[in-house]
Amino acid sequence: MPELPEVETIAYNLRPALTGKIILSSDLLWKRTLAVPSPRAFSRRIRGQKIDGVGRRGKFLFLTLTGYTLLIHLRMSGDLLAILGGYQRARHDRLILKLTEDTTFVFSDPRKFGRVWLVSDPQEVLGRLGPEPLGDEFTPDWLITQLKSCRQRLKPLLVDQEFLAGLGNIYTDEALHASKLHPLRKASDISLGQAGDLWQAIRMVLEDGIRKNGASIDWVYRGGDYQNQFRVYGRQGQPCPVCGNKIEKIFVAQRGTHFCPACQRLEG
């Protein structure tokens, strides 16, 4: 659920608060959250580090520290909070970084899906990611070339972060519908024109999502409104907003996949 738009917004909201030095880190409340040997090792490494900047790559958020990079993946239920003033530990707080006496940085995650890494080189975590869908590298020409050389079906390919970094289940379904492409179409079979449509649709759904503050269906991200704009996602059995045919739901590579069988034909 938490995808690109939330990441952008959260990073923006955090920026003003992230000026302190880390003077204390709590033990992790949930050890599996952290991809380091132990909470103690984590505390030892991170204490005293200074936050030099914040950023995002794909679905990963990161804090650039003095000697490490702290990477955070919110997955679907994670949330980042910069708490000013008194901090009271809440039920789902998984990682707590006290920055100053009255600034606390909290990674909260009710469903424990999120992950945190503390590494010397961010490439250890980010190194295999594909290009940014809103970046300069992602061009229609790039997409066409890649699709031609790929034998996968469109849906699994588009959610593969090593192919393109940032699309999740929701935006992929929406982009395929907007470009009238069936999720099971073989990537190498699609035409030049269709690839161009897909390129445009990917950019459109992401920009639209960012504009609407994200697609979160949960209570997690307060204010996300893209969930009210879905044309196919979660709308199985309801009419397609384009043609009125019933939206179908199938499973592709274990992901619920929503599409309009009339707009998105497997042939042609």
The site for DNA (CB under 7 A) is made up of: 1, 3, 32, 58-59, 73, 75-77, 92, 110-113, 150-153, 156, 159, 161, 168-170, 219, 233, 252-256
For the beta carbon of residue 94, count every other beta carbon within 10 angstroms: 23
Q: C-alpha 4: how far from its chain's center?
A: 4
Q: Among this protein's residues, is 59 annotated catalytic?
A: yes
Tally of CB atoms within 10 A around 242? 15
Q: How far apart are CA 8 and CA 54, in angstroms?
A: 11
Q: Which of 47, 248, 255, 261 is catalytic?
A: 255
Candidates 5, 6, 8, 59; catalytic one = 59
Cα–Cα distance measured from residue 177 to residue 171, given in angstroms and rounded to the nearest whole number: 10
* 3-state SS class at 115: strand
Which C-beta is closer to DNA: that of 49 or that of 77? 77
Exposed, middle or buried: residue 206 (CB in 10 Å: 0-12, 13-18, 19+)?
buried
Answer yes or no: 255 catalytic.
Answer: yes
CA dihedral 79, 80, 85, 91 (to 10 degrees): 40
Q: Which residue lies nearer to DNA by CB, 190 or 252?
A: 252
Closest distance of CB 10 from DNA, Å: 15
Nearest distance, CB of residue 50 and DNA, angstroms: 28
Q: Is 124 a catalytic residue?
A: no
Which residues are designated catalytic?
Answer: 2-3, 59, 255
